[in-house]
Every structure is written in structure tokens, then in C-alpha cells.
Amino acid sequence: MAWVDYLGVQLPVSRMAGPAILQRGRAAGFAPTDLGAALAAVHLLVRASPSPGPAVFGPTLVEQVVGPDSQALVKSVERDYATVLQQSALPAGAAVQGGRLELLGYRIAGGSSGVRQVTLVERAPDANGVGQTYEVAVDVQWVDGDWRLVAPRDGRWENAFTWLDVAPQPYLVFGGA
């Protein structure tokens, strides 16, 4: 496992589990394994958010997000991005610097055939700069030879997040070697 910087956030990558393709800010080519599913969840969550800007989140949302709430997610991310632009001096289309997100680990549960339930455990500062631990629970689905992120309920990322007092156990740690 190695780590790559993406918008100021360190993301895990694996030669065997992916992403095999990192181009134009996008990530694809994940292995059909539990680790591949976890890595897909990490990379697609970051890229299907306002942070990378519309040149990345637009095609990521259209091509790599599935499910009945996918169109609602497109609108939600576009709205959140517009809000960020209004509150900053960033030009339209600019990426938003990611922040100090720390990935602590993940858990995998099997779903129906071709679906994995991935729970990521992360730490990031709140609005006051105090580190907070939270879980992000998403499904990924194997479609056309790669993992796709299933849009969260109502197309709202906040429906996938749960703030925690302490990091839960057990969870698998993304390796550093």
C-alpha cells in the first residue's frame, strides 16, 4: 500500500487492488476484491464531492455513481460547490483544497451479489479545528468491470456520515508499506 496526495488529502493506493488509473483527477480500475471495494469507496467519495471542482466531480458523478438517488446527488454536489464559491474568492471551476482528512481504516460487509457495504473511519477537524472521528457508510456496486459508488439516501452525503466519540473497533487499517 502506498499513499498519494490528492488536493491535500493522503489517499491509499494499491498496485494489486487499485486504482489502476489515475488521470485528469479521476480514479478507476479497482480490483473485484474487498480491498478494491474499500479503495473505490475512498477515491470515489473524494471525487464525487465539491472539493475537486466540476471538471472532476461532474464526470465522476455521471460515470461512477449509480443508484436511484444519483441524480439528486448531482444536484446536491453542484449546489454545495456553488455555496463554496460564494463564500470564497475561488474562480468558477476551481478545486477546493481538501483539508486534513485522516483515513483511519475501514470495514466491509457483503451485500447482495456484486455489492459491498463499506464503512470508512476517518478523522477531520470540525469548524473549530478540533479533530472529530466519524464513519462514512456507503455501498459500492460492481458494474461493467469496476466498482461504482451507490449514491447515498436522498442524494445527500450527510446521510452517509455518523459522528463518533471514539473510533470503533474492529476496523482494518489501510497499510503504509
Give domain status of residue 176, yes or no: no
Is residue 175 in some structural domain?
A: no
Residues of the chain with pLDDT under 50: 177
Domain contains 169: no
- Residue 25 to residue 57: CA distance in whole angstroms: 9
Name the 3-class secondary structure at 86. Answer: helix
Q: Cα separations (Å) of 47 from 60, 92, 111? A: 7, 17, 24
Residue 147 lies in a domain: yes
Report yes or no: 1 and 172 within 8 Å, Cβ to Cβ. no
Asked whether residue 170 is domain-assigned, the answer is no
In a domain, 26, yes or no: yes
pLDDT of residue 100: 79
Structural domain harbouring 93: 2-164
- pLDDT at site 71: 98
Residue 51, phi then psi, degrees to nearest 5: -50, -50
Which pLDDT does position 177 carry in this prediction? 37
> d(Cα 14, Cα 121) in Å, to the nearest integer?
19
Q: Which CATH number do you get for residue 29?
A: 3.10.450
Considering its fold, how many domains does the chain have in total? 1
**Residue 142 in domain:** yes
**Does any domain span residue 93?**
yes
Question: In DSSP terms, which residues pair with 131 in a beta bridge?
Answer: 125
